[in-house]
């Protein structure tokens, strides 16, 4: 089902009150402005004035009207009743007796607040979700919540939860396919073949080429340095850094690379459509940077711990080999200026 990816909490709170609104929420959504007060006071009966006002605030907060308009927290009823000067808020129970009146009121409120039907704004919400998919790392659940907030902010009445959940899912999938295509299209065919080849285990080796490329060399030896340079050379030789991916947001390339850097080669191999090559391109580009950094770090450590420490030991040995000093540090057999003791000045 389209809503399967939503949490129970998301389903429970969609278009419904799950707790009393905070004081800030009451003021933001249920404080009747001048226009709201004027319209509410046009109703002859108290329960109709109260019911109309509660519906007015409900759609502003939830983005939809409730099937039973009086199924709201009592804090809402009290807050609205006080503004209308109604001493007995319980009179709202009479409002539920005439469904026709409630329906008429929803039409009035929708017109007053300029709320649009979902069908009128569907293309707009598609663009909004697609933009989020293309430029953020929002999960599908996060996309759904953002879509709900966007609809409420733009005063679009929420559709059924299945309708919106399906739209978010479909837009996310189609946009990700477009991103994968945008990564693959400028990548030369021979590069694609070479990238796919990195998923295989070469003869005589224990791991795939991809696994070897994404594993930093840690041996602090000359052989380790050579291995690190070989790794960097192999990654750079793929040439993915020359591929023009300016049309793809960096955050999406990072997302693809993150998967490619951690997933096992067989899983990447089984990716469908263009996602496999797109993942490998992004991964190789990331490895271009990290493999160079790793090689430089290894070189720095090798210099400081092996070569420089060796030079320091040699220097210390030379100092130990110097003649012993006497009389305040003057070498044996010599005086100040290098003259033998007792030698006459010239």
Per residue in 129-148, pLDDT (tens digit) is 999 999 999 999 999 999 99
**First-residue to last-residue Cα distance in the chain:** 110
More confident residue, 1 or 155: 155
Give yes or no for a contact between 108 and 101, defined as CB atoms under 8 angstroms apart: no
244 phi, psi to nearest 5 deg: -80, 105
Number of other CB atoms surrounding residue 312 within 10 Å: 10
| 122: Cα separation from own chain's centroid | 25
Work out the percent of the chain whose per-residue pLDDT is above 70: 88
pLDDT of amino acid 302: 85
Q: Nearest Cα to 117, choosing from 65, 172, 77?
A: 65
> For 157-212, how does the pLDDT look when each residue is reduced to its tens digit (9 = 90+)?
999 999 999 999 999 999 999 999 999 999 999 999 999 999 999 998 899 999 99
Token pair, residue 181, equals 């295509």
Query: In this structure, what token pair is assigned to residue 101?
Result: 């009146």
Antiparallel, parallel or unpaired: β 330-331 and 325-326: antiparallel
Nearest to 95 by CA among 105, 85, 110, 83: 105
pLDDT, position 221? 86
Average pLDDT over residues 64-92: 95
Strand partners, 76: none
| Mean pLDDT of the 120-133 span | 98
Q: At what angle do helices 46-62 and 23-30 cross, to 10 degrees?
A: 110
Residues in contact with 66: Cβ distance below 8 Å, sequence separation at least 6, in sequence order:
15, 16, 55, 58, 72
CA 55 to each of CA 30, 81, 211, 314: distance values in angstroms, whole numbers, following the listed order: 9, 13, 60, 87
* pLDDT recorded at residue 163: 97
User: Which stretches does DSSP call E strand in 154-308?
Assistant: none
Kindly list the distances between the CA atom of residue 246 and the CA atoms of 97, 103, 110, 178, 179, in Å, as whole numbers in the listed order: 61, 52, 44, 14, 12
User: Is 308's pLDDT higher than 60?
Assistant: no
- C-alpha to C-alpha distance for 328 and 92, rounded to whole angstroms: 106
Domain assignments of the chain as residue spans, ordered by start: 14-113, 118-184, 189-306
**Predicted model pTM:** 0.82
pLDDT of residue 324: 56
Q: Is the dihedral of CA 228, 231, 236, 241 positive or negative?
A: negative
Q: State the average pLDDT over residues 265-279.
A: 96
Q: 71 burial class (0-12, 13-18, 19+ CB within 10 angstroms)?
A: exposed
Confidence of residue 319 (pLDDT cuts 50, 70, 90): low
């Amino acid at each position: 089902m389209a809503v399967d990816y939503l949490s129970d909490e998301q389903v429970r709170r969609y278009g419904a009150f799950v707790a009393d609104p905070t004081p800030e929420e009451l003021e933001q959504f249920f404080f009747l402005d001048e226009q709201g007060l004027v319209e509410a006071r046009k109703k002859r009966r108290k329960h109709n004035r109260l019911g109309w006002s509660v519906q007015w605030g409900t759609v502003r907060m939830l983005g939809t009207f409730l099937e039973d308009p009086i199924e709201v927290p009592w804090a809402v009823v009290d807050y609205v009743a006080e503004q209308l000067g109604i001493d007995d808020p319980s009179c709202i129970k009479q409002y539920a007796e005439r469904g026709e009146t409630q329906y008429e009121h929803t039409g009035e409120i929708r017109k007053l607040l300029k709320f649009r039907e979902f069908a009128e704004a569907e293309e707009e919400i598609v663009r909004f979700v697609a933009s989020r998919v293309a430029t953020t790392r929002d999960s599908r659940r996060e996309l759904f919540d953002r879509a709900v907030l966007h609809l409420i902010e733009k005063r679009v009445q929420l559709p059924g939860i299945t309708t919106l959940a399906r739209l978010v899912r479909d837009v996310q999938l189609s946009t990700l396919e477009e991103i994968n295509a945008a990564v693959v299209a400028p990548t030369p065919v021979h590069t694609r073949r070479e990238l796919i080849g990195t998923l295989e285990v070469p003869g005589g080796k224990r791991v795939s080429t991809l696994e070897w490329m994404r594993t930093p060399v840690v041996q602090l030896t000359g052989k380790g340095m050579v291995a690190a340079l070989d790794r960097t050379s192999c990654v750079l030789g793929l040439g993915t850094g020359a591929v023009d991916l300016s049309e793809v947001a960096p955050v999406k390339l990072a997302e693809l690379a993150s998967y490619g850097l951690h997933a096992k080669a067989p899983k990447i191999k089984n990716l469908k459509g263009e996602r496999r090559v797109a993942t490998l391109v992004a991964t190789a580009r990331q490895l271009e940077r990290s493999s160079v950094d790793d090689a430089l770090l290894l070189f720095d450590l090798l210099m400081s711990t092996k070569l420089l420490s060796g030079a320091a030991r040699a220097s210390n040995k030379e100092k130990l080999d110097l003649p012993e000093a006497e009389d305040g540090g003057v070498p044996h057999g010599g005086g100040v200026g290098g003259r033998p003791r007792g030698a006459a000045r010239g």
